[in-house]
Amino acid sequence: MIRGLYTAVSGMITEEAKQNVVTNNLANVTTPGFKSDNLSVKQFDDVLLYNYDKKVGNKNVRHDLGGLSMGSKIDEVNTYFQQGMLEKTDRATDFGIQGKGFFVVEREGQGGNERLYTRNGHFYVNNRGFLVNDSGYNVIGRNNDTGAVEPIRLNTENFTLTKEGNISVDGNTTYTLQVADFQNYNDLRKVGHDAYTGNNAVNSTDYIVKQNTLEKSNVNTIREMIEMMTVMRTFETNQKIIQSIDDTLGKAVNEIGNVR
């Protein structure tokens, strides 16, 4: 009975974690470039139950009763990197990637600057003339004059962007967007809701960039709502199991206490 209590509790913990993932997915339905997450669950190793009640001659022998599940546990959170739909906008600083790859942005930190990778191309030119994202991180590109890979400084929102990522101001190509990719997306770790950290980035070649365009979130709202209802039902079922076990234990304790 106590084992059943532990199993139900582990189930509730797992369902609560699932609910957090689903809630975060739904909260970012309108976040450009957001990639939905999915929680993987695995079972604890089953325990084999047996006793020695069975006799053969005058000797007790082992009798296997079967396996007992010890519940489930959280395995890992996986990100679904499928392409989101591209949507036209009226902002020249909105970029959308069609294909593989990530925009490269740079955030400042106490230990130095850190490169992050994102599919969210909702950018703007700040008061210092740099192209930045909503978090204020600098967008990285290659300076076509010096060849340096550095924060893109345009000083204007009047520019054009080619599908290869070349940025031109007054007809002069000044920067080329850095679009990075990775061999194994499972090695990426999410930072916030729309950026990732990763090692061994390479230049992507399988993409085009579109100006006045944003990639929409790839969250499937209907699927997430169904998952939310399933999670809530499973959580409630485990609650009822715990309540039932608690009532049974309470009854057993009271009856034993009344034995004379």
Our measurement of the distance from residue 188's CA atom to the centroid of its chain's CA atoms, rounded to an integer in Å, reads 10
Residues 186-213: tens digit of each pLDDT: 889 999 889 999 999 999 989 999 999 9
Q: Which amino acid is at 88?
A: K
* Cα gap 23→225, rounded to integer Å: 9
Domain boundaries, the chain: 2-79+219-257, 86-215
Are 194 and 33 within 8 A, CB to CB?
A: yes
Q: Radius of gyration (Cα) for the chain, nearest Å? A: 28
What is the C-alpha to C-alpha distance for residues 87 and 225, in angstroms, rounded to an integer? 24
**Where does the pLDDT of residue 256 fall: very low under 50, low under 70, confident under 90, or very high at 90 and above?**
low
In the DSSP assignment, the letter for residue 135 is T
Instruction: Find how far residue 209's CA is from the centre of its chain.
Output: 24
Q: Which residue has the higher pLDDT, 127 or 47?
A: 127
Please state, in angstroms and rounded to a whole number, the distance separating the CA atoms of residues 205 and 58. 77
* Band (77; pLDDT cuts 50, 70, 90): confident
Please state the pTM of the whole predicted model. Answer: 0.77
Question: Could you count the other beta carbons within 10 Å of the beta carbon of residue 15?
Answer: 23
Outline where the chain has alpha helix (H).
2-27, 221-257
Quote the CA–CA distance of 204 and 207 in Å, as a whole number.
7
